[in-house]
Each structure stands twice: as C-alpha cells, then as structure tokens.
Chain A
Amino acid sequence: MTRTRASGRQVGGLRALSLQAPAVTLLLLWMLIPLGMTLWFSLQRYNLLMPGMTGFAGFENYEYLLTDPALWVAMGNTLLLVGWVLAITVVGGTLLAVLFQQEFPGRGIARVLAISPFFVMPTVSALVWKNMMMHPGSGVLAWLFQSLGLPAIDWFSNFPLTSIVIIVSWQWLPFALLILLTALQSLDEDQVEAARMDGAGPLAIFFFITLPHLKRAISVVIMIEMIFLLTIFAEIFVTTSGGPGLATTNLAYLIYIRALLDFDVGVASAGGVVAIILANIVAIFLVRMVARNLEE
C-alpha cells in the first residue's frame, strides 16, 4: 500500500514495512507456532508414557478421538454449559440491570456488591462455592435447606453440571449486568415517557422500548462471554475434576485429561484442533449476528 502524504513523502514502502515488521512478526509467531505445533503433534504418535513409540500417525489420533464416546459427551457438556450460563447471565443480567437502574437508597453500594463477583478469580470462587456454599455438610445451601426442613443436597455428586453452571453463572452475571447497565443508561428518558403517554405499562416499556434498546449490548455480551465460556477449566478442575465419570468434562477439560493425565500429547492435540473448529463454527454464527446488529 503506497500512498503519498501531503508532505510528498511516501507512506508504506520498505521503511514502513521494516518498522511494522517486529509487531507483525511477534503476533504471527505467537499465533502460528502454537497452532502449527498443535497441528503437527495431532498427526504424531506421541505418548509420554511410551517414549519408544513415535513417528507419523496420520489421522490415527483423530480417528481415536472421534470414535471416543468421551469426546461427544464433552462436546455436549461444553454446549450445555455455554448455553445455560449464557441464558442465565443474559436474562438475569437484563433484569438486574433494569432493577439497578431504578432509584433506591443505597443503590451505589448495591451496584458495587452485585458487580464484585467478577473480581474474584475463578479458582477462588470455585473453592468458596465448593467448600462454603454447596458442601453437603457445612455449606450454606445445606444449612438453608435443612432449616426449611428439606434434605441437604450433595450438589457435586447429584447435580454436577448444574453446580458448575451455577458457579460460572455467578461469576459472569456481573459482567452482563455491567455492560447492560451501561447500555441502559444511554436509553433516552423521553422515549420511556413517550411510551408512558402512549399507554405502555412497565411490562410493555420493557419489551417494546428497553429490550430493543439493549439488543446490541446483549449481542456483545453473548459474543464476549461465549469466547470465555468455551474454555472454562478452573471451576471444573477445582470442584469436580470432570466427574463424576464424565458428567462435567467439557472440551477443555478433556484435552487436559488426554494430555496431562493420559500423557497422550497426540490425542490431546487432536482434541485441541477439534476445539478450534468448534470455536470457529460458533464464531461464524456469532460474528454474523453481531455484525447484523451493529449495522442497524
């Protein structure tokens, strides 16, 4: 790209290229080397427990992975986890945003408290939930259920995936709330009043005015959350370790199992490639949706 500046000097050209090169090279290396190595390993026979057995494997790793029922379980778990957390955080975040938009005493403090879970690191929040909230003996929830005369629930044994969904939702709800609350503040008050004059009650205002106004912000929340939710790991590692059985194993955790529990680098890499493909499929739909929204 060679353009001429008003000063007569050329923009682009060799000098500009040489100045851009370090940044571009760094980014390429950062992306391409891991990707290339993953692709390469996924085609290798490479198990750390069997150092003698090396060499080119072709698509053996993929064949093994794709015929492994664990993969499909993990895929299903990934989608369930992402889907439920998105549903809970978007719906809950929207409702909370509308709530926190109202004037009430102590609103500022309430807002800070509602947003604070986002600042707790995943490992810590998972530990807190595991040992202090959901523990069947000493957890707050168990105490609550018992004080209501109900039996305590052993969350991680009986409802493992639900438990993970609850923990992750708790972490990501503040994010949705934060974005949606900001968006809500840009809603023109006159529009709401015009709707009131037109005879809209609180529900009609929510569905006809607030929700359409939040559409763009909601799609941004969905996109950003999805990127992070596809790779949830710490919460699972700390609480259930993917179990019982494979009940809470998502794709990220499955790759971890193959790589660092089975020491099968080849299969784990193949899993990584599958994860990339899955993320891309999701991303295509998402980018389209967001782009369409932003166009309007």
Chain B
Amino acid sequence: MATLQLHDLVKRFGDTEVIKGVDLDVEDREFVVFVGPSGCGKSTLMRMIAGLESASEGDILIDGQRMNDVGPADRGLAMVFQSYALYPHMSVADNMGFSMRLAGVPKAERRAKVLEAARILQLEPLLERKPKALSGGQRQRVAIGRAIVRNPGIFLFDEPLSNLDAALRVQMRIELARLHEELDATMIYVTHDQIEAMTMADKIVVLHDGVVEQVGSPMALYHHPRNRFVAGFIGSPTMNFFAVEVAGLDAEGVRVTLPGGGQCVVPVDGSRVQQAATLELGIRPEHLRLDDAGPLGGTIQVLERLGGQTSLYIETDGGLVTLMADGDVAYRVHDPVRFGFDASRAHLFDAEGLACESLKAHPLASLTRQDNRVSPQAAP
C-alpha cells in the first residue's frame, strides 16, 4: 500500500533522451498499466521507479518521500521480471525466502512467510523443487511469490506474461487480478499487449517515444483518445482513419465531407477547427456497419471469418478499411460493399493529430475496474 508520484522525470543514455519528462500520479491500491509500442520507454520508466536505473532529472516520490537516491531494496517495492529471473541454484522456497535471508529474518519466520505466499499462489507442493523443474506458469508464480514475501507497498511487473502461451496468459491474467484484490497493494504493470492493459488496469498510461500520450481508465482511452496515436494504439483491430474536409460548424458539432462525397456531423467541439480544413476522421472497425445506403463503399479484399465475427478488409477511395461485422454475413471476396457508421462514434483529429473533444462524454468513460467489482450492472 503506497502512492507514487513522478515529477518531470527524464532519463538520458548518453545524448539520447529515452524518457522525456514524465509526470504521473499513482494512487494507493491502484492497478496502473504502462503500455506502448516497443522502444517507447515503458520498461525504462519502470526500472527507474524500481531504482535499477537512475533518473537524469526529476523526482520519484513514494508515499511522498523522494526516492531518487534510495537503493532499489529500500524503496518498499518488489519487481517481477519478464524472464522471471529466478535463482537457478536455489529451491523454490529459498528463492522466495532470499530477501528475508539477506535481511537476517529468523528461519522460522522466513518459513512461515514463504508458506503463506505459497498458499496464496498454490505452490506448496513445489517448494523443494529447483526452478529448472518447473513449468513456465509455475516459474511465473514463484517470481510473484518472491515479490509477495517482501510485503511491498508497490508491485512492479515487467511484461510478466509475455513468455507464456496464450491459454496460460489468460489464466495468469485472471490470477493477477485476483491477487491484486487479495493483496490490496498498488501495482504497476508494463506490457505491450493492450488486452492485458484493458482487462487489468484501473488506469492506463500510454507511452510513445518517452512521452506520456494519455493517462486514463481503459474506457476513457477507448472512447476518448486524446490524439491519433492513442486512438490507433488502443483497440484491436486498429481504428480506421479517413481524410475528411470540414464542410460546416454548428452547435451539434463539425460537419465533414467524407471521401466519396457523403456528409456527416461528428459531435465534437469545433472551436479549434477552421472551415474547409482537412481533418482526419477515426472510426473503429466495430463501429462501422454494413449498410447498402451507407455513405462509404469499396470492394472486399480479404475476409477473415472467426465464427462469431467476420473481419472485412475493404479497399476504398480513402485506403484500406477494416470492418467488424456479424459472423454470418454472406459477402465473399471481391464483392462490392457499402457501409456507414454512427457519427457519434467517430473521432476527429487535426493536423497535429490532436483529437477534437467530444461534446458528450461516453457514459462508461469514467468507469474503473473498482466500479466493475462493486456492481457489475452499474453501467447504464
């Protein structure tokens, strides 16, 4: 249980700036996920919080105390590494008890804490094994157990599930969410997998080139991306973008001309938009719908049938468009198709890639995972 604040944090390796001034507030017991493409600095940021990398500039505050010059072991943190980083020559019990052994904790107490952690993680039958004799998922649990016994204020997870196969990843994801509830600790989690981010986070931090692009709840990021990068990064398949021209501004939003000549009114704040400017309209594949009277059209290039859903990749005048349709659509490749969308689902981005603010917030945008837990039907 602890809070974390980052103030204008900068990290340079030689002349290269990899973290370019990050500000962040993590509240007590929050599950925060750092997400971003590889090389965005998310792991470096976590390592700076852990104390494994020094900060070039800025402050790291844990529970209000400046921690920049405090060693990694004394920050009240525990970290789970992507490679698990178990000590290969020690048994599972010794791996988990290593930090207490170094701290001079009496043997009996050590044993009790290790057993307690093993109980939480269902590792009891494996305590005397060496890491080599464990499966990937078991190793992962030992690594988490090693963090638990330290009773840290903040848990740090560095891509902990990326070495596991798909089925195990789903299982561990659920287990981690359960663990977060049981341990009631602050957790910071680095991943490049947005499904992990969306499902586990109270708060997602989207990083790109060492800069925080947006911080917010998963639903806020999904429904109200602050810029084109976040819009494209969050959501799978990726959002579609068209170049559109501003045809008019009114109280209901911005009227734009779509490729192909159709028009629609996107309910966003148009105060920064100029008449006849070229903007980018973003619409998610799942918000496009097949509609013979729709304003957009093209030919199907690729059809991916997943059973419940079908992904259509449609060649249009404005480029390749992805559309998620029902699993039972009867179209075939090379068929001409027309489609449209609900303009309230669309986003507009200006030339700098910044989103025009929606006039009406999405009802789920402020929903957190906590709310999910308290009452699953809370959303209207």
Residue B146, interface by CB 8 Å? yes
| Complex partner residue of B98 from A188, A198, A213, CB under 8 angstroms | A198
What's the minimum C-beta distance from A214 to chain B, rounded to whole angstroms? 11
Please state if B81 and A190 are interface contacts (CB–CB under 8 Å): yes
Q: A198-B146, A208-B87 are in contact. Are A193 and B102 (CB under 8 A)?
A: no
Please state if A194 and B102 are interface contacts (CB–CB under 8 Å): no
B-chain residues with CB within 8 Å of residue A197 when the two chains form the complex: 50-52, 72-73, 77-79, 99
Residue of B nearest to A212 (CB): B89
Please state if A190 and B83 are interface contacts (CB–CB under 8 Å): yes
Please state if A208 and B78 are interface contacts (CB–CB under 8 Å): no
B-chain residues with CB within 8 Å of residue A196 when the two chains form the complex: 52, 71-73
A171 to B70, CA, bound (A): 44
> Can you name 4 extra interface pairs (CB under 8 A) apart from A190-B82, A194-B146, A213-B88?
A191-B85, A195-B98, A197-B51, A199-B99
A204 to B72, CA, bound (A): 15
A-chain residues with CB within 8 Å of residue B81 when the two chains form the complex: 190, 193-194
A-chain residues with CB within 8 Å of residue B78 when the two chains form the complex: 197
A-chain residues with CB within 8 Å of residue B82 when the two chains form the complex: 190
A189 to B99, CA, bound (A): 18
**Residues of B participating in the A interface, judged by any CB pair closer than 8 Å:** 50-52, 71-74, 77-79, 81-89, 98-99, 102-103, 146, 150
A-chain residues with CB within 8 Å of residue B79 when the two chains form the complex: 193-194, 197
CB<8 Å pairs between A and B, sample of 12: A191-B85, A194-B81, A194-B85, A194-B86, A195-B98, A196-B52, A196-B71, A196-B72, A198-B98, A199-B73, A208-B98, A212-B87
Number of residues in A with C-beta < 8 Å to the partner?
18
A-chain residues with CB within 8 Å of residue B85 when the two chains form the complex: 188, 190-191, 193-194
Please state if A191 and B87 are interface contacts (CB–CB under 8 Å): yes
Q: CB within 8 Å of B: which of A160-205?
A: 188, 190-191, 193-200, 204
**Residues of A participating in the B interface, judged by any CB pair closer than 8 Å:** 188, 190-191, 193-200, 204, 208-209, 212-213, 215, 296
A212 to B51, CA, bound (A): 25
| Complex partner residue of B102 from A191, A198, A215, CB under 8 angstroms | A198
Please state if B77 and A188 are interface contacts (CB–CB under 8 Å): no
| Complex partner residue of B103 from A193, A195, A199, A208, CB under 8 angstroms | A199
Residue of B nearest to A198 (CB): B99
A215 to B84, CA, bound (A): 22
What's the minimum C-beta distance from A186 to chain B, rounded to whole angstroms? 12
Residue of A nearest to B78 (CB): A197
A197 to B79, CA, bound (A): 7
Please state if A204 and B73 are interface contacts (CB–CB under 8 Å): no
| Complex partner residue of A200 from B51, B89, B102, CB under 8 angstroms | B102
B-chain residues with CB within 8 Å of residue A200 when the two chains form the complex: 73, 98, 102
A167 to B87, CA, bound (A): 38
A-chain residues with CB within 8 Å of residue B103 when the two chains form the complex: 199
**4 tightest Cβ-Cβ pairs between the two chains A and B:** A199-B73, A190-B85, A198-B99, A194-B85
What's the minimum C-beta distance from A168 to chain B, rounded to whole angstroms? 31
What's the minimum C-beta distance from B310 to chain A, rounded to whole angstroms? 42
Please state if A198 and B83 are interface contacts (CB–CB under 8 Å): no
Residue of B nearest to A194 (CB): B85
Please state if B52 and A193 are interface contacts (CB–CB under 8 Å): yes
What's the minimum C-beta distance from A274 to chain B, rounded to whole angstroms? 39
A-chain residues with CB within 8 Å of residue B71 when the two chains form the complex: 196
What's the minimum C-beta distance from A120 to chain B, rounded to whole angstroms? 36
B-chain residues with CB within 8 Å of residue A215 when the two chains form the complex: 89
| Complex partner residue of A195 from B84, B87, B89, B150, CB under 8 angstroms | B87
A-chain residues with CB within 8 Å of residue B52 when the two chains form the complex: 193, 196-197
Residue from A195, A212, A213 whose CB has the most chain B CB atoms within 10 Å: A195
A215 to B88, CA, bound (A): 12
Residue of A nearest to B47 (CB): A193
What's the minimum C-beta distance from B124 to chain A, rounded to whole angstroms? 22
B-chain residues with CB within 8 Å of residue A213 when the two chains form the complex: 88-89
Residue of B nearest to A200 (CB): B102
A42 to B98, CA, bound (A): 58
Q: A190-B81, A190-B83, A198-B150 are in contact. Are A204 and B102 (CB under 8 A)?
A: yes
B-chain residues with CB within 8 Å of residue A188 when the two chains form the complex: 83, 85
